[in-house]
Amino acid sequence: MDRRTFLGTLSGVAAAATMNRNFAWAAEQHGINPIGIQLYTVRDALKLDYDGTLAQLAQIGYHEVESGKDHDKPNPKEMKEALMRHGLTSPSCHVDWSSLVGPDWQKVIDDNKIVGRTYLVNPWIKDEVRNKPDGWKHAAEILNRAGETAKKSDIQFAYHNHWVEFIPQADGKLPYDTLLENLDPNLVNMEMDLGWITVGGQDPVKYFDRYPGRFCMVHIKDVHEVPSAAGVRSSRFAGENMTILADVGTGVIDWKRIFAHSGKAGIKHYFVEHDNPKNCMETARVSYEYVAKLRF
């Protein structure tokens, strides 16, 4: 090997080493951007000062909000204008079960398209539906039909879990598994609430591995502790029972481990949420600051 070849080889090795270091640095620096918030978190503040609350969220650093029918302005054009005034977008909105099965489903879709949304999410299956024999399978059929209608309008439909989906049925099967097996992935994606699946005693990463690409959105919800399985079965975790919830980053959930699998999961939007904050704007701030600094 002559001197020129030797030096060229050294240069190639050095360049490869530098590239590897850069790739390693990029991997270490992977984070979440943009960061969104579910407006349910700040519902009390919205009632007092809607535009002022949106302004505060934007000032904190949020770029996206996820809403629900009780947290939107009544007119979709007014809602879009309110968001635009504060540099916010709202890619997703929660819709109740009655909207899916009623005569106005197409109008709900059309109104949300005016706001600029590309996702609609059902967050709760009525008790009388899921408690019937094969109720979860029947619910999946309804969700698929709703998703088919939404798809025709270029809206991706999705389902958001709570804890009830992780209470085993009589045959030992988890309702969440029943849903995933019966929902058409082209029609219904999943918005995984990472707090409630943890409360249900299940591992989000296990589902990311089993169903890659099925989880278009997540709720970033933290908990101070994981309750016992018996506690989950006997409680709806409402009102005073929701003291287990925590500002993001102050609880026990290992966010780095979960979000290291974001690519496999297919996550496109991340929404901070706290169902029962003591001070909603402080919760919004603390949670944003933690998520903004998170690297995985």
CA distance linking residue 156 with residue 152, whole number of Å? 9
Please give the pLDDT value at position 25. Answer: 42
Q: What is the pLDDT of residue 238?
A: 61
Q: List, for the chain, all residue ranges whose pLDDT scores fall below the cut of 70.
A: 1-29, 235-241
| Structural contact between residues 244 and 214, judged by C-beta atoms closer than 8 angstroms | no
Which backbone phi and psi does 218 adopt, to 5 degrees?
-140, 155
Query: Residue 228: what pLDDT?
Result: 86
- Asked if 76 and 109 count as a contact pair (C-beta separation under 8 A), the reply is no
Q: How far apart are CA 14 and CA 197, in angstroms?
A: 46
How confident is the prediction for the chain on average, in pLDDT? Answer: 91
For residues 180 and 206, the answer to whether their CB atoms sit within 8 Å is: no
The predicted pLDDT at position 237 comes to: 63
Q: How far is CA 40 from CA 7, 76, 173, 190, 263, in A?
A: 62, 18, 31, 19, 27
Residue 71: the pLDDT is 96
For domain 32-293, give the CATH number. Answer: 3.20.20.150
